[in-house]
């Protein structure tokens, strides 16, 4: 029976994996994976990791020394992995799609709550304060939603916006032909959008795609939504834009310095991250702790695909969901074996 070292375990992870696992010995660890905790995987055949684990070159070298053959990411993102360091040492697989509907629906939930001040009204009525002062929102109908990134989640959110009678425009460096999507460049999207929603991966090119220059181009009173990756937004620039009332409200499920904070309970602690503390204190900022994916359907799909990825690896099959260093590096793609129907190495 193959052994799996499972890092950054939460109760719902253990519940769903134990429910569907049939032939792996899973050792659950609450610790995040990094160079200090990698020793916990000593003797394991595989590691199961998540978005805020630190899988740098040192961590990978240690896992390789301990005999780990594959890292199964139970998420779609992998910007926390040093892919170059992993190449020819440890295979990387992921769950590219688990429930794009979960994330897209949560994104719209953030927008509706922000716009109509539902979170503030909820707190008021619990104290029997039924005043409507300060709770005015806007009609979303006929407003323009600008979607950055038109992968599965972005397209579903675009459809949801259309269901509200909103106009939609989008930016993507790789536009989808004949998809019925109106693509524009970023300056146009910034200028015309009443709502801007981020649905793109975090790369060198998208890092701080919303910075001070971007906010300066935006229509006054814009809503900002981010359920993708925190570092897509320069947090200090967002705070400034909120203070200048360029941004009407921000709905954030991610934060660029979330790694040591999100998924944990710090309610009895003093948070030393001043930027995060300021964002949370803003009445027009709604912050959730990276929960957009958290539905029963998504958790079930994550387990099934993760276990299937491991089954394929240990049975010697081609890895459908392998992350290939050559493909992701974007250079020397002629050396990519995955494009030839083989494993990355």
Q: Which residues are catalytic?
A: 229, 258, 290
CA-to-CA separations, 182 to 119, 145, 171, in angstroms, rounded = 33, 11, 9
> How many CB atoms sit inside 10 A of residue 328's CB?
17
User: Could you tell me whether strands 46-49 and 70-73 are parallel, antiparallel, or unpaired per DSSP bridges?
Assistant: parallel
Choose among 173, 165, 233: nearest CA to 197: 233
Contacts by residues 211-214 (CB-CB < 8 Å, ≥ 24 positions apart): 211/237, 212/237, 212/240, 212/241, 214/186, 214/190
* Residue in this structure with the two tokens 């099959």, named with its chain if needed: 317
Q: Which residue has the tokens 């688990």?
A: 98
Give the SS3 label for residue 112: helix
Beta bridge partners of 196: 146, 224
| H helix or E strand, kind and range, residue 17 | helix 11-20
Beta-sheet strand order (sheet of 285-287): 167-171, 144-148, 195-198, 222-226, 247-252, 285-287
* Mutual angle of helices 296-314 and 11-20, in 10-degree steps: 60
Distance between terminal CA atoms of the chain?
Answer: 24
SS3 175: coil
The whole-angstrom separation of Cα 5 and Cα 16 is 16
CB-CB neighbours of 152 under 10 Å: 17
């Amino acid at each position: 029976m193959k052994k799996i070292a499972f890092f950054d375990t939460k109760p719902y992870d253990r519940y769903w994996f134990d429910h569907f696992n049939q032939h792996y010995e899973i050792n659950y660890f609450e610790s995040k994976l990094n160079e200090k905790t990698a020793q916990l995987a000593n003797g394991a055949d595989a590691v199961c990791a998540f978005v805020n684990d630190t899988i740098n070159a040192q961590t990978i070298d240690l896992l390789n020394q301990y005999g780990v053959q594959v890292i199964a990411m139970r998420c779609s993102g992998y910007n926390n992995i040093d892919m170059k360091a992993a190449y020819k040492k440890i295979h990387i697989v992921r769950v590219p799609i688990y429930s794009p509907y979960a994330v897209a629906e949560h994104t719209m939930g953030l927008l509706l709550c922000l716009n109509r001040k539902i979170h503030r009204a909820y707190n008021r009525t619990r104290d029997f304060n039924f005043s409507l002062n300060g709770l005015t929102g806007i009609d979303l109908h006929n407003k323009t939603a600008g979607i950055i990134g038109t992968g599965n989640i972005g397209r579903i959110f675009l459809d949801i916006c259309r269901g509200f009678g909103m106009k939609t425009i989008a930016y993507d460096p790789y536009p989808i032909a004949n998809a019925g999507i109106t693509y524009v460049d970023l300056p146009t999207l910034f200028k015309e959008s009443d709502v801007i929603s981020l649905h793109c991966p975090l790369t060198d090119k998208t890092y701080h795609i919303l910075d001070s220059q971007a906010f300066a181009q935006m229509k006054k009173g814009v809503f900002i939504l981010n359920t993708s990756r925190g570092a897509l937004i320069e947090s200090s620039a967002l705070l400034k834009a909120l203070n200048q009332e360029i941004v009407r409200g921000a709905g954030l499920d991610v934060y660029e310095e979330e790694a040591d904070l999100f998924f944990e309970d710090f309610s009895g602690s003093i948070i030393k991250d001043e930027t995060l503390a300021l964002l949370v204190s803003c009445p027009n900022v709604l912050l959730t702790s990276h929960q957009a994916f958290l539905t029963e359907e998504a958790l079930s799909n994550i387990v099934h695909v993760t276990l299937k990825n491991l089954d394929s690896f240990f049975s010697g099959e081609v890895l459908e969901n392998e992350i290939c260093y050559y493909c992701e590096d974007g250079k020397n793609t002629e050396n990519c074996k995955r494009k030839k129907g083989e494993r990355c190495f």
